Amino acid sequence: MRLSRAGEYAVRCVLYLANRPAKEVVPRWAVAQAMEIPEPFLAKIGQQLARAGILEILQGAKGGYRLRRSPQEISLLEVVEAVMGELFLNDCLLRPESCSRSSHCMVHRVWEKARDQLRQTLSQASFASLLQGETCFDIPHGETQEASQKGPHQGHKDI
């Protein structure tokens, strides 16, 4: 299993929003710029995260993204699977009917155990716990809010 670019960008987006004050609305361009995500790609990822109940998209002049739930309630697994679908290591795990040997395959159980361990590890990693460690950015709370009031090309710190 390899984390797709969409999966990586989704994690960056949620990590950024999780580091903002609760209920703060952050313009999409601000998230895209701060986390180095192409804005059109972020728009698509944002829709997927919204459908999964992870973030809320607000329209209008003061619109943008905000988390629907607290960072403690959102797992790394949930975000990755929102954009990539269910994680699996081999087709036989996703579609057992695709392999006639699944019931007696010696490797099938190993793939299954590895997938289960990966899913367990990712499900135990909340975004709140991720923020307690080192992050890939260092932005004081409120900086994006101030920058978003100035517009897309003013007031942004290079990250």
What pLDDT score does 3 carry? 86
Q: Please, which residues bridge with residue 66 across strands?
A: 56
| pLDDT score for 53 | 98
Higher model confidence: residue 64 or residue 137? 64
What are the tokens at 103?
Answer: 């019931």
1 within 8 A of 89, measured Cβ to Cβ: yes
In a domain, 157, yes or no: no
Kindly give, in sequence order, each residue whose CB lies less than 8 Å from that of residue 55, ignoring residues fewer than 6 positions away. 13, 14, 17, 46, 49, 65, 66, 67, 68
Give a yes or no: residue 105 inside a domain.
no
Tallying the residues shown for the chain, one arrives at 159
Domain contains 35: yes
Question: How would DSSP label each residue in 15-81?
Answer: HHHHTSPTT--B-HHHHHHHTT--HHHHHHHHHHHHHTTSEEEE-STT-EEEESS-GGG-BHHHHHH
Contact 127, 12 (CB under 8 A): no
Q: Tell me, what CATH number does 137's domain have? A: 1.10.10.10
Total structural domains within the chain: 1
Sequence-ordered list of residues with C-beta below 8 angstroms from that of 84, at least 6 positions apart, any chain: 3, 4, 6, 7
Distance, CA of 71 to CA of 130 (rounded, Å): 9
Residue 96 located in a structural domain: no
pLDDT digits (tens, 9 = 90+) for 107-134: 878 888 888 899 999 999 999 999 987 5
Owning domain of residue 25: 5-86+126-150
pTM for the model: 0.77
Report yes or no on 121 lying in a domain: no
138 pLDDT exceeds 70?
A: no
Q: What are phi and psi of 58, to 5 degrees?
A: -110, 130
Tell me the average pLDDT of the chain. Answer: 82
The tens digit of pLDDT for each residue in 35-62 reads: 999 999 999 999 999 999 999 999 988 8
